[in-house]
Amino acid sequence: MLSVHFLPDNVTVQASAGANLLQLALEAGVHINAACGGDGACGKCRVLIKSGTTESRECEKLPPDDYAQGWRLACRTTVLSDVVVQIPHETKLDMKSVREARVHAHETRYAVSAAANIALSEVSPPPVAKYALTLTPPSINENAADLTRVQRSLKKTFNLHAASIDHSALKALPHVVRSSNWQLTASVLGRRILSLEPGDSSAAQYAAAFDIGTTSLWGQLIDINGRSVLAEVSSYNPQIQFGDDVISRIVYSQKKDGLARLQQTVAAELNQLLAELLDKSGIEAATLSHITAAGNTVMTHLLLGIDPKYLREAPYVPAAVIVPQLQASAVGLAVPECVPLFLLPCVASYVGGDIVSGVVASGMYDSEKLTLYIDIGTNGEIVIGHRDWLMTASCSAGPAFEGGGLTCGMRAAPGAIEGFNIDEGTLEPMIVTVGRKRPRGICGSGAINILAAFMQAGIIARNGKFDRSFFPQRIREGAAGVEYILTPAELSATDADIVITESDIDNVIRAKAAMFAGYHALLEKAGLAFSDLQQVIIAGAFGDYIDLENAIAIGLFPDIPRDRYLFIGNGSLLGARCGALSDRCLQLAETVARKMTNIELSEDHSFMDKYISGLFLPHTDSALFPTVTERLARKGKSSS
């Protein structure tokens, strides 16, 4: 690891060789002016390399004389050695706490992957076990059936009694036992022999694990014996063409052939991902042992071809939450008949297998710490509890956190404004986009960062309205109301201004208010307060990109000590992987799903009251956000 030291902040961060300097500054909480997202178009992110080796593409925005003196555009520069960087203007913003939170988040992210590794390395047999058997050949005096021989060997060698056999395996049996001198390997699920191979192939066992998200599909190919991931792939869920969110998919499923089309569409894409996984890892489909998948309740219903109609109608009843194991081929997956599919169990119509999967993979189900588990998306899911009890709820946050419902909203794809900062002295913004492309729009985590920066700089008031006197050159009356120009048309990728409107800000506030009211209402039902929380687990890819301090600043996450936060990334995929590796994990998932008490918040008065209180930055009740309130007060004092 290299060391990069920023002056005058006196902040040092660890970096890999080749890391981008603008990105490093953002992650370190060091402000560098940047208006074009990191595309090299605005020329504002000039820095002076005081020592060390960097590589930097030349750029018309940087005069050759300046380049000769050591000036570089941070967005165009990668570090190749330990480097000391001088930033040419002093930042007024106190970024220290933010920086610490970021560094801490980085550490906890590492910590949880260690925790996950422990879960994943647990020595527990997979749901489908491969047993190598050596049979006694028959003679005229002992001519018991082939299957009887296999059953005896399973009993004697592996203490597995009364095994039955699937029809396809039985058809293969006479040839398999005789093709390799009465040595064979049986793949067994519970007491069912699913398939047979000649010789000893027990060392080669592979499974696939999928996360079936409303927006994205993720897959991993897993080497069961090596307990490793051989390949990982992802793609959009192509059901998006029939509707962005679960509700619109349910609506589509009620059309003629709608359900079948939704089912086939996702199955086809999973087959595509599976083919990629096999291709990447050099594994043949015929050697695949089993498949696990986790998805929310609607995705689970759709994959199984079950009408999701009643998930959407009060009283919101799923067809099933604990789905029986079935043949993967029965849902259209292009694998041999003998490959079973295990779906992580759901809890209720809006608390699905993705959440159960994460609760198991994160170890929350077994923790003594009172834990809040949060998965943020269009539907935010919340779990509160510890090893003795678990309560869960979902709240409809709306699409703001996925970039939906914003005038210039977009998913976290290249060009999405994500990193955002304002120099309170110069009021210059620091804009860094995903992939450092010219800005195309704002993604969910970007919106949170923008709101937090606006709050901190006083650009918006506690009710989310712009202070129009404050920053007139960037605030104007647009077609959709009052708006702030993040990127002017000439620097954007869309040839239009990238703006955020008061109405956009209102949408983000509603979204965070719904989430926060959810935790609050659940805690209250359990007779607990935020201060009782010993651990907060943030799941989901969105959580991976979110800035913890900013999320707390706007009132999305509770204002408790930052070291209680843990980020687990895609908990759904992690749990699916754990299930593929360990039958005990699959069993645990059922136990956990049964243990989780679902609370319907949609018709809960306490939730509604709390939601109204949350429509303020960070909250109407400032006592709930002591550190945020204190920082705003300090800033108010220092600026007044």
Interface ranges with a second copy (CB under 8 A): 138-148, 164-167, 170-171, 173-175, 178, 304-307, 309-310, 314-324, 326-327, 330, 348-349, 598, 600, 603
CA 250 to the chain's CA centroid: 23
Q: Counting beta carbons within 10 angstroms of the beta carbon of residue 636, is it exposed (0 to 12), middle (13 to 18) or buried (19 or more)?
A: exposed
Give the residue with the Cβ less far from a second copy, 318 or 405. 318
Shortest Cβ distance from residue 365 to a second copy (Å)?
20
For the chain, how big is the Rg over CA atoms in Å?
28
Which tokens go with 18? 């080749």
Give the residue with the Cβ less far from a second copy, 169 or 505. 169
Give the residue with the Cβ less far from a second copy, 141 or 640. 141
Shortest Cβ distance from residue 345 to a second copy (Å)?
10
Shortest Cβ distance from residue 324 to a second copy (Å)?
4
Element (H, E) at 100: helix 96-121
Shortest Cβ distance from residue 532 to a second copy (Å)?
26
Which tokens go with 547? 């800035």
Please check whether residue 99 is in contact with residue 29, taking contact to mean a CB–CB distance below 8 angstroms.
yes
Which tokens go with 109? 């992210």
Which tokens go with 393? 């709820």
Shortest Cβ distance from residue 462 to a second copy (Å)?
35
Shortest Cβ distance from residue 192 to a second copy (Å)?
8
Longest dimension (CA), the chain: 102
Give the residue with the Cβ less far from a second copy, 139 or 159. 139
Please check whether residue 350 is in contact with residue 378, taking contact to mean a CB–CB distance below 8 angstroms.
no
Question: Can you give the three-state secondary structure of 384-450, one letter per residue?
Answer: EEECCEEEEEEEECCHHHHCCCCCCECCCCCCEEEEEEECCCCCCEEEEEHHHCCCCEECHHHHHHH
Give the residue with the Cβ less far from a second copy, 144 or 489. 144
Give the residue with the Cβ less far from a second copy, 132 or 147. 147
Shortest Cβ distance from residue 291 to a second copy (Å)?
15
Strand duo 192-198 + 481-487: pairing: unpaired
Distance in angstroms (rounded) separating the CA atoms of residues 428 and 390? 46
Distance in angstroms (rounded) separating the CA atoms of residues 448 and 469? 23
Shortest Cβ distance from residue 530 to a second copy (Å)?
27
Shortest Cβ distance from residue 275 to a second copy (Å)?
24
Give the residue with the Cβ less far from a second copy, 306 or 617. 306
**Residue 50: C-alpha distances to residues 8, 11, 70, 89, 323 (Å):** 12, 14, 7, 15, 61
**Residue 503: C-alpha distances to residues 410, 464, 616, 637 (Å):** 16, 9, 14, 29
Q: Which residues pair with 142 in a beta bridge?
A: 139
Give the residue with the Cβ less far from a second copy, 154 or 508. 154
Distance in angstroms (rounded) separating the CA atoms of residues 487 and 430? 11
Give the residue with the Cβ less far from a second copy, 173 or 184. 173
Give the residue with the Cβ less far from a second copy, 128 or 163. 163
Give the residue with the Cβ less far from a second copy, 32 or 196. 196
Shortest Cβ distance from residue 393 to a second copy (Å)?
13
Shortest Cβ distance from residue 249 to a second copy (Å)?
16
Element (H, E) at 56: strand 54-56
Distance in angstroms (rounded) separating the CA atoms of residues 227 and 225? 5
